[in-house]
Structure 1
Amino acid sequence: MNRLALFAALVTIPASAVIAQHAHHQASDPIAAAVAAPSRTPANIARDQYRHPAETLAFFGVTASGTVVEYSPSGGWYTEILAPLLRDHGTFYALQPTGGYLASYRNFLATKPEVYDKVKLVEYPDALATIPASSVDTVLTFRNVHNMVMAGKEAATFKAFFDMLKPGGTLGVVDHRLPEARDTALEKSSGYVKVSTVRRIAEAAGFEYVGASDVNANPKDTADWPKGVWTLPPSLSQKEVDRDKYLAIGESDRMTLKFRKPVK
């Protein structure tokens, strides 16, 4: 076949074949398929550019057949991905602290029972024993460590993570990053936390540090805003004041850290 004929053959590949190839790629990559799930809401999909869910979950080693705990899923952003990912072959625990988000998260699960019917909602700490010790492959917490630090509950919470994980299991942490040179006191008010602080908390609980990814880094975020991290999207606490400026910066600069429970 000459080059012209080969080119003609390539450009006349039917659209159905392209769609089939795309479907095959998703079938061979369960995380990509879950990120592309039609049950996800458009507003949450729009934030993928800041949260990079496929790359983040892959870095943490999440699989479709694993037992996964997400601590404090709150509005359900990652639940929209983890629930379909784990629904058929895995186990998904949503470990939600008691308080304001518990009722709203339960209502969120009720909106799409065909997707969320197998999510195991566990109240923390009241029903923590529902999750058997040393039974979990992966614990994930997204933008929650700063809340633990502000409330003084980080040691107890990380101990709970450690106890539920299997030996060799993974703890994945994403949070707003405070530059190491800043005053540590800002961790109590700004919503940002230092990498060194997260490592100290995790290692004190018994975890081994595995490594970090820059997938959720944002060099535009200088972490010195009038209302802390809530100045930036999606909160935009300053309302219309410098709104375009903060939208151009985007969501916060985030650490993405991986820890492991040692195998003894």
Structure 2
Amino acid sequence: MSNRTPLSRACLLGLALALAAPLAQAVKPADSATLPAPDAALQAAIAGSWRDPADTARDPYRHPGQTLAFFGIRPDMTVVEITPGGGWYSEILAPYLRDDGKYVAAIVDPAAFEAGRQRDYYQRGKDGLAKKFADGAAQFDKAVVVAYDPKAPSFGAPGSADLVVTFRNVHNWRSAGQAEGMFKGFYEVLKPGGVLGVVEHRAKGDVPADDKSGYVGQDQVIALAKAAGFELAGSSEVNANPRDTKDHPNGVWTLPPSNNHPEAERARYQAIGESDRMTLRFVKK
């Protein structure tokens, strides 16, 4: 995974935890005592020097170690991450799985769209992730990229994945009318007994499919998964944030890290932190 010595990894992890401690305490997960602890290899990946400092600054809000441990990740798994965006979780997953497992980044295929703004948007995302992987070959050289058509999503050979994960994406699929197809695709690529892990901005209750806030009702996400054939195997409050009132003028994008708000209100939204999020684990029957 890296040529770091065990000692340097441990030191770096300790420094990262020490720096994050005040913020982590402010957003301490409600059920942290019952969550499984991340293994040593996962802790080392989270502490990796290759991670962007802007990304590590989000760790106290996103709890990557506890979240992935809750999903039951192991270093020998085949893990598919759906729409990894700029690669926040890729920086952890690809090195963690590099030696004994397999990391698959499933991205939207720009060619699925006609020439124009949408194709350009997805092409920029594809190129940005490719550059991240190329610039960090020591960590990402074994990462696999799969491009999918959101109108008929396929994320790999049927029954080829142990774990599918997706972070803060369900609201986009619902507004585009793609959510049902996406969840069916997750079910198809997973092995029997495979796990789907979902983190999503949590609304106070059900919201319309065309809701623009970025939040989704937890029961709505569970219903999508069950309709695709999954069983709910657990939920966690590891990414909960009770300070999030969910009534911001620009939805979840008002909050960090998007910070879509007037500069005069910065302190107010920094005090809230990132959005309140559901963390759900589903199992393929």
* TM-score where L is the length of structure 2: 0.80
Q: For residue 199 of structure 2, what is the aligned residue in structure 1?
A: 174
Q: Describe how 1:74-93 pairs up with structure 2 within 5 A.
A: 74-93=85-104
Query: Deviation digits for residues 107-128 of structure 1, max 9, x if unmatched?
Result: 2212211111111001012896
Moved more, 33-42 or 153-162: 33-42
Query: Which consecutive unaligned segments of at least 5 residues does structure 1 have?
Result: 1-17
Q: Describe how 1:146-161 pairs up with structure 2 within 5 A.
A: 146-161=171-186
Q: For residue 252 of structure 1, what is the aligned residue in structure 2?
A: 275
In 2, distance between residues paired with 1:159 and 1:186?
A: 18
Q: For the Cα contact (< 8 Å) 1:169–1:261, is it kept in 2?
A: yes
In 2, distance between residues paired with 1:28 and 1:204?
A: 33
Q: Are 1:59 and 2:70 an aligned pair?
A: yes
Query: Which consecutive unaligned segments of at least 5 residues does structure 2 have?
Result: 1-5, 15-37, 110-121
Q: Are 1:113 and 2:137 an aligned pair?
A: yes
Letter in 2 for 1:131: G
Q: For the Cα contact (< 8 Å) 1:186–1:192, is it kept in 2?
A: no
Letter in 2 for 1:120: V
Q: Describe how 1:28-47 pairs up with structure 2 within 5 A.
A: 29-47=40-58
Q: Are 1:122 and 2:133 an aligned pair?
A: no
In 2, distance between residues paired with 1:208 and 1:145?
A: 18
In 1, distance between residues paired with 2:207 and 2:153?
A: 31
Q: For the Cα contact (< 8 Å) 1:187–1:193, is it kept in 2?
A: no
Q: For the Cα contact (< 8 Å) 1:175–1:254, is it kept in 2?
A: yes
Letter in 2 for 1:177: R
- Displacement, 1:249? 0.5
Cα distance 1:169–1:157, how it changes in 2: closer, same or farther (>3 A)? same
Percent identical among aligned pairs is 48
- Displacement, 1:172? 0.1
Q: Are 1:211 and 2:234 an aligned pair?
A: yes
Cα distance 1:146–1:35, how it changes in 2: closer, same or farther (>3 A)? same
- Displacement, 1:106? 1.5
Cα distance 1:158–1:130, how it changes in 2: closer, same or farther (>3 A)? closer
- Displacement, 1:19? 4.5
Cα distance 1:162–1:69, how it changes in 2: closer, same or farther (>3 A)? same
Q: For residue 104 of structure 1, what is the aligned residue in structure 2?
A: 128
How many residues are paired up?
242
In 1, distance between residues paired with 2:50 and 2:170?
A: 28
In 1, distance between residues paired with 2:81 and 2:47?
A: 20
Q: For the Cα contact (< 8 Å) 2:187–2:230, is it kept in 1?
A: yes
Query: Over aligned residue pairs, what C-alpha RMSD do you find?
Result: 2.3
- Displacement, 1:89? 0.5
Q: Are 1:220 and 2:231 an aligned pair?
A: no
Q: For residue 213 of structure 2, what is the aligned residue in structure 1?
A: 190
Query: Deviation digits for residues 188-219 of structure 1, max 9, x if unmatched?
Result: 21000010010010000000011101000000
- For the residue of structure 2 that corresponds to 1:220, the secondary structure is coil
Query: Deviation digits for residues 20-55 of structure 1, max 9, x if unmatched?
Result: 8948x9996211111111111111111000000000
Cα distance 1:20–1:93, how it changes in 2: closer, same or farther (>3 A)? closer
Q: For residue 255 of structure 2, what is the aligned residue in structure 1?
A: 232
Query: Deviation digits for residues 223-258 of structure 1, max 9, x if unmatched?
Result: 110010000001111141411100110000000000
Structure with bigger gyration radius: 1
Letter in 1 for 2:139: V
- For the residue of structure 2 that corresponds to 1:184, the secondary structure is coil
Query: Deviation digits for residues 129-163 of structure 1, max 9, x if unmatched?
Result: 57111010000000001111111100111111000
In 2, distance between residues paired with 1:162 and 1:240?
A: 43
In 2, distance between residues paired with 1:217 and 1:204?
A: 25
Q: For residue 159 of structure 2, what is the aligned residue in structure 1?
A: 134
Letter in 2 for 1:194: G
- For the residue of structure 1 that corresponds to 2:91, the secondary structure is helix
- For the residue of structure 1 that corresponds to 2:222, the secondary structure is helix
